[in-house]
């Protein structure tokens, strides 16, 4: 077979080495051991793998665009080899009545089995008249499709939290999937756009285990959104040392210093951007010199100005201090010196941390109002 293999009776367009490499990346994204690669492979080869119905509402199609530009896997491999994408308005050949017929047929044929992926927010104001497809309101389409779905995956900030459309005054009442669907499992995969590997890993997790992954309080998979960007940022050492870029293009910015003073939302944003990165070439916003805008967080991305500085969470002293040595129950001079040094270091660290924070912080994230840049 010249290094190629067959899945579901179809001759594949990727080598087995590339296929296993892809599954290894997806497994690592989920935070699972490499032994689970075989489980993912078996799930993909299974003849009864759940199909995917992909809906579009109020959005820019940026989430789909990110998938169109993915190369590992490319879109063709994703659709035909990894998941069974049966309905997607942007890339499907059918249109109009034919497209509506496909959606109805796939819903009936796979009732209770398919995964519904939603891209875009759902307008709820004035009965939801601001987004209609085929004469149907978006909110009605979502309710109809989700009623027969096994689970719903909200892709992007718009479907997860309402997106840029939900910014005050929110004239259409743009809302996330969870504001509409109450009786089915909903997984939020936010971002603008979300990392394609997070989308793929979430879908493969469900295909493999037939259940939703462990979720955080915002219904996001913990394997992708369980850690704060600030804690894993390669510029964190500069933050701790008090080295900041103050303006775009200044010496600190050119030297790769921390972007906190430019409004980086990394201290309050949870995502795996520092480790997974984008475009298969190892880049991400902070890596190219732009502050994180918090696009994976409700009430942060699009709701706070780029230069708006948030209060870092959990600024604490060291976890351990040098032990105090005693002699016959008495504290020694060396012990007092060690304790004093430890206390001085803690106070010094606290002082450095305090000097780096603005006088007035974001009320929503633990402080008062924003500091003017």
Tokens representing 37? 């690669």
Instruction: Identify the band that residue 207 occupies on the pLDDT scale cut at 50, 70 and 90.
Output: confident
Which of these ranges, 13-27, 82-96, 207-221, 287-301, has the smallest mean pLDDT? Answer: 13-27
Closest alpha carbon to 56 in 28, 30, 87, 82: 87
Residue 217 is predicted with a pLDDT of: 97
Q: Higher model confidence: residue 205 or residue 184?
A: 184
- Map residue 133 onto helix, strand or coil: strand
Query: Please, which pLDDT band fits residue 86 given cuts at 50, 70 and 90?
Result: confident
Q: How far apart are CA 249 and CA 260, in angstroms?
A: 15
* Most confidently modeled range among 79-83, 236-240, 327-331, 334-338: 236-240
State the pLDDT confidence band at 320, using cuts at 50, 70 and 90.
low
Residue 175 has pLDDT above 80, yes or no: yes
Mean pLDDT, range 286-312, rounded to an integer: 94
| 3-state SS class at 10 | strand
Please determine, for residue 241, whether its predicted confidence score (pLDDT) is greater than 80. yes
Across the range 305-310, mean pLDDT stands at 92
Residues contacting residue 129 through CB under 8 Å, at least 6 positions apart? 123, 137
Query: CA of 320: how far to CAs of 114, 179, 339, 350, in Å?
Result: 50, 44, 12, 15
Q: 6-225, which class in CATH?
A: alpha beta
Asked whether the predicted pLDDT for residue 160 surpasses 70, the reply is yes
Eight-state DSSP code of residue 126: G
d(C-alpha 275, C-alpha 278), whole Å: 9
pLDDT above 70: percentage of residues in the chain = 74
CB atoms within 10 A of CB 314: 9
The reported pLDDT for the residue numbered 15 is 73
Cα–Cα distances (Å) from 177 to 124, 140, 147, in that order, read 11, 12, 13
pTM: 0.77
> Does pLDDT of 1 surpass 70?
no
> Is the CB of residue 220 less than 8 Å from the CB of residue 178?
no
C-beta separation of 144 from 108 below 8 A: no
> Domain boundaries in the chain?
6-225
pLDDT tens digit sequence for 3-52: 333 344 333 556 777 777 777 777 777 766 676 777 777 776 766 778 89
**Strand ranges inside the chain, DSSP E:** 6-7, 10-11, 51-56, 84-88, 115-119, 122-123, 132-133, 136-137, 151-155, 174-175, 186-189, 326-327, 330-331
Mean pLDDT of 293-304: 95
What gap in Å lies between CA 82 and CA 25, rounded to an integer?
A: 14
**What is the pLDDT at residue 118?**
97
| pLDDT computed for residue 3 by the predictor | 33
Torsion sign, CA atoms 232, 233, 238, 243 = negative
């Amino acid at each position: 077979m010249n290094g190629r293999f067959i899945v579901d009776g179809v001759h594949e367009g990727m080598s087995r080495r590339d296929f296993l490499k892809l599954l290894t990346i997806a497994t690592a994204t989920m935070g699972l051991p490499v032994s689970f690669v075989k489980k993912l492979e078996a799930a993909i080869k299974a003849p009864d793998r759940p199909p995917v119905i992909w809906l579009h509402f109020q959005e820019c199609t940026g989430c789909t665009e990110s998938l169109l530009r993915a190369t590992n896997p490319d879109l063709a491999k994703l659709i035909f080899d990894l998941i069974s994408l049966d309905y997607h308005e942007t890339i499907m050949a059918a249109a109009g009545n034919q497209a509506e017929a496909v959606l109805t047929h796939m819903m009936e044929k796979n009732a209770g089995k398919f995964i519904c992926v939603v891209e875009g927010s759902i307008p709820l104001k004035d009965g939801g008249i601001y987004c209609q497809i085929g004469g149907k309101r978006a909110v009605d389409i979502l309710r109809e499709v989700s009623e027969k779905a096994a689970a719903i995956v909200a892709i992007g900030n718009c479907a997860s939290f309402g997106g840029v459309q939900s910014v005050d005054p929110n004239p259409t009442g743009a809302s996330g999937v969870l504001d509409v669907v109450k009786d089915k499992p909903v997984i939020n995969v936010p971002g603008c756009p979300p990392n394609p590997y997070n989308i793929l890993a979430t879908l493969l997790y469900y295909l493999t285990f037939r259940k939703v992954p462990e979720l955080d309080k915002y219904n996001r998979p913990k394997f992708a959104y369980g850690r704060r960007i600030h804690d894993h940022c390669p510029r964190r050492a500069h933050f701790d040392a008090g080295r900041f870029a103050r303006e775009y293009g200044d010496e600190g910015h050119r030297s790769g210093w921390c972007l906190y003073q430019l409004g980086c939302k990394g201290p309050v944003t949870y995502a795996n951007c520092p480790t997974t990165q984008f475009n298969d070439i190892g880049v991400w916003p902070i890596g190219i010199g732009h502050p994180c805008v918090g696009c994976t967080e409700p009430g942060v991305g699009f709701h706070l100005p780029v230069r708006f500085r948030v209060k870092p969470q959990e600024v604490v002293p060291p976890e351990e201090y040098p032990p105090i040595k005693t002699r016959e129950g008495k504290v020694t001079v060396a012990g007092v010196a060690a304790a004093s040094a430890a206390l001085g270091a803690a106070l010094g660290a606290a002082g450095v941390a305090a000097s780096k924070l603005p006088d007035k912080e974001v009320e929503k994230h633990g402080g008062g109002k924003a500091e003017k840049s």
